[in-house]
């Protein structure tokens, strides 16, 4: 726990409020409680700020008048947030073999595994050699973890899950803030990865932990090899994703979706239930209606693509215009 005076000094912020308030963790503005810190970058998130229950908010001077609680006022909110997350990152307990506090029950654990502090492993679960499971991870019943898998701290794996070799679950997300000198400062990702029941995860797939909230893989999901799932992504029940697909942060996929191989999905999108995306496509906008979608163009010089892309988005209007002209000529 840190008091606000300590936190203000750490990020060189102006403290508005009670310096003795103690903060134990970081959360989003929507979910934060009175013993947690949050941040609000700009006016886009003003409604979240107004309703927040957080004990303190990192913000800039323009938002101060809308803050209902204690404030840490800075010029660069995102940079200050990146710096302060490291205050709350939990260190992993160094361990060789199986930590004495781990509850392995009836699990079958191969040689050369590392099982951390507070780990709980369910019945009839098998763990292959050279697998690392860090502190406070939970693994359900009847789960099969192949060799050379890494599951980082505090993640949760459900029942009847199959995790193939080389999978990494709970790695740091790709979040960085740049200072005035152009140097990058990594954000410590404080959320976890939650994997439901009856999930399969292909070889060398990586699933990043959430920034503040959790990354979620829901029941019945099928993930192929070499998939990248970024921080705070949610994959809905019984969705299947083919190899080499990459999903950027904070995107939500609905239930029963099918995503082809080598698809790229940019961040902060919502894809509804029962969507099929054909292989090689790039998804760059929300998908609100079920159906089959394709977004593929031949390779060409970028300048040519810019010109073609400009016309492509106007094709429907051009067709309507030509149809009207044609009709007028016939009349």
Tokens of 145: 């973890």
150, 132 Cβ separation under 8 angstroms = yes
Tokens of 200: 């399969």
User: Does the active-site annotation cover 286?
Assistant: no
List 266's β-bridge partners, or say none.
Answer: none
Backbone angles phi, psi at 3, to 5 degrees: -85, 165
Q: How far apart are CA 283 and CA 278, in angstroms?
A: 10
Q: How far apart are CA 133 and CA 140, in angstroms?
A: 13
Q: How far apart are CA 70 and CA 50, in angstroms?
A: 12
225, 242 Cβ separation under 8 angstroms = no
Residue 306: partners with Cβ closer than 8 Å, 6 or more residues away: none
CB-CB neighbours of 45 under 10 Å: 18
Q: What is the dihedral of CA 175, 172, 218, 145, to 10 degrees?
A: 160
Of 217, 215, 216, the C-alpha closest to 231 is 215
Among 231, 268, 286, 302, the active-site one is: 231
**Residue 18, burial from CB neighbour count under 10 angstroms (0-12, 13-18, 19+):** middle
Active site residues: 231
């Amino acid at each position: 726990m840190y008091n606000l005076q300590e936190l203000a000094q750490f990020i060189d912020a102006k403290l508005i409020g009670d310096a003795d308030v103690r903060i134990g963790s970081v959360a989003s503005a929507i979910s934060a409680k009175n013993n947690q810190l949050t941040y609000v970058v700009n006016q886009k998130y003003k409604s979240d700020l107004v309703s927040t229950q957080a004990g303190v908010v990192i913000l800039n001077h323009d938002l101060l008048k809308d803050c209902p609680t204690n404030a840490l006022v800075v010029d660069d909110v995102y940079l200050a947030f990146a710096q302060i997350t490291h205050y709350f990152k939990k260190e992993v307990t160094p361990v060789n073999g199986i930590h004495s506090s781990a509850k392995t029950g009836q699990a079958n654990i191969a040689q050369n595994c590392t099982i951390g502090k507070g780990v709980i492993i369910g019945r009839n679960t098998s763990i292959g050699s050279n697998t690392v499971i860090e502190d406070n991870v939970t693994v359900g019943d009847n789960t099969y973890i192949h060799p050379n898998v890494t599951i980082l701290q505090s993640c949760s794996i459900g029942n009847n899950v199959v995790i193939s070799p080389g999978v990494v679950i709970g790695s740091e997300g790709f979040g960085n803030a740049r200072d005035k000198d152009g140097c990058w400062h990594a954000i410590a990702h404080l959320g976890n990865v939650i994997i439901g029941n009856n999930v399969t995860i292909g070889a060398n797939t990586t699933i990043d932990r959430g920034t503040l909230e959790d990354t979620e893989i829901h029941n019945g999901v099928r993930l192929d090899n070499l998939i990248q799932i970024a921080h705070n992504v949610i994959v809905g029940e019984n969705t299947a994703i083919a190899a080499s697909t990459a999903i950027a942060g904070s995107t939500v996929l609905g239930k029963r979706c099918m995503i082809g191989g080598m698809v790229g999905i940019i961040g902060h999108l919502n894809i509804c239930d029962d969507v099929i995306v054909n292989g090689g496509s790039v998804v760059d906008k929300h998908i609100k209606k079920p159906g089959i979608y394709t977004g593929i163009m031949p390779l060409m010089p970028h300048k040519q693509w810019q010109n073609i892309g400009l016309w492509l988005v106007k094709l429907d209007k051009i067709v309507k215009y030509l149809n009207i002209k044609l009709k007028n000529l016939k009349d």
